[in-house]
Amino acid sequence: MNLLSSMRYLVALNEHRHFARAAQACHITQPALSNALRALEQEFGIVIVRRGRVFAGLTPEGEQVLATALSMLKAEESLRQDLSVGAGQLQGTLHMAAVPTAMPMLTRFAALLRAQHSGITPIVLSRSSLEIESGLEDLSLDMALGYSERMQLPGKRPARHARIEVWPQYQEHYFVLSPAKSKGSVGPTGPITWAEAAQLPLCLLTPDMHNRLIVDESFRAAGCQVQAAMETNSVLSLMMAVTDGGLCSILPGALVAALPRPHRLRVRPLVEPQVQTPISFMTQPASDSTRALQAAVKLIESEQWQQQCAEFAGALTLN
């Protein structure tokens, strides 16, 4: 039995929560993946995977094996990167994630990192805040861009997040996106209050998304509650509900700034209250970082990135 390969299959199964998709991600057949996991169970004399008609999760013992598997794979990747530097050029992967609303910024960062280090392959993922926190904790993510206030910064963070490094980037501002001819329009860039926005037919992200929590709390602060006309966990679907479905939505500046801004859309900043939410990079601590993560942190701290971030953040306010 190849222990490292079996550990990799276990990590893939936990990530994809589906035998066939995990096997496909590992470029093997489903029977080969299942046989490798059964061999792993026989090796340790425990049940690792809860099996039914579909994947039903890991046993408590399986969770312990998974934690070791993630540590082993990270150690292997770190070693590969160290050896590649000795051979002349850094080679390796960097697993990065962002909350959906911050994906434009993370994509810009990943592209710049790749331009500076052609041997680094950024793996850019869209994840919920909870998935980001779990990924940073279990080492399946090297870095993330998201809502740092959830992590309760220094002095207030829960112990399990105490070792996460935080790098503030910009403040997220919020806007109403609507069809250009929708009723109640007050001009192409004229402000609109949260109370006025509550009267619009809104497509919002689903309640499990942290952005939705921010939106709901902002409406409550304005003294109103909203019943969404449509909900989705897809930012693309949210945008299409406006462009093709005639609905309105509330988007942060990072997504608004990434829009092609066709003539059929109208964007208005939200006021009363004027809500701003900090967005930060979060990384593994320096003591656990790979060479690729070290290069990413160096870029975060560079004048080049800070200038680009400041320029982009300025565009997010649509001033």
Mean pLDDT of 78-91: 90
- Looking at the fold, whether 236 and 200 belong to one and the same domain comes out as yes
Q: Does residue 319 belong to any structural domain of this protein?
A: no
Whether 156 has a pLDDT exceeding 60, the answer reads no
Buried-exposed string 220-251: b where 16+ CB fall within 10 A, e elsewhere = eebeeebebbebbeebeebbebbbebebbbbb
Quote the mean pLDDT of the chain: 87
Pair (71, 163) in one structural domain: yes
The total of structural domains in the chain comes to: 3
Question: Which tokens in the block code for residue 59?
Answer: 């046993």
Query: Which pLDDT value is given to residue 159?
Result: 37
Q: Could you tell me if 153 and 73 lie in one domain?
A: yes
What average pLDDT does range 91-111 have in this prediction? 93
Domain end call among 16, 34, 62: 62
| 179, pLDDT greater than 70 | yes
User: Domain end: 35, 62, 89, which one?
Assistant: 62
CATH classification at residue 20 = 1.10.10.10
CATH code at position 254? 3.40.190.290
Evaluate whether 59 touches 50 at the Cβ level (below 8 Å): yes
- Determine, yes or no, domain membership for 113: yes
Q: What is the pTM of this model?
A: 0.81
Domain with 237 in it:
187-274
DSSP H or E stretch at residue 300: helix 291-301
- The whole-number average pLDDT for the span 154-165 is 52
Tokens of 32: 């080969």
> Tokens 């001009």 belong to which residue?
187
Q: State the Rg of the chain over Cα.
A: 22
Is residue 242 a contact partner of residue 249, using CB atoms and an 8 Å limit? yes
Percent of the chain residues topping a pLDDT of 90: 58
- Domain assignment present for residue 254? The answer is yes
Listed residues 13, 34, 62: the one ending a domain: 62
The C-alpha atoms of residue 224 and residue 195 are separated, in whole angstroms, by 6
Q: What is the CATH number of the domain that holds 157?
A: 3.40.190.10
Given a cut of 60, is residue 176 above it in pLDDT?
yes
Strand ranges in 173-237 using DSSP code E only, listed in sequence order: 174-179, 192-193, 202-205, 230-232
In a domain, 298, yes or no: yes
Same domain, 130 and 268: no
Q: What is the mean pLDDT of residues 279-285?
A: 90
Q: Is 181 contained in some domain?
A: no
Does 71 share its domain with 118? Answer: yes
Percent of the chain beyond pLDDT 70? 89
Q: Residue 175: inside a domain, yes or no?
A: no
Residue 180 lies in a domain: no
Task: State mean pLDDT over 80-98.
Answer: 91
> Given this model, what pLDDT does residue 54 score?
80
- Please tell me whether residues 159 and 207 are part of one structural domain: no
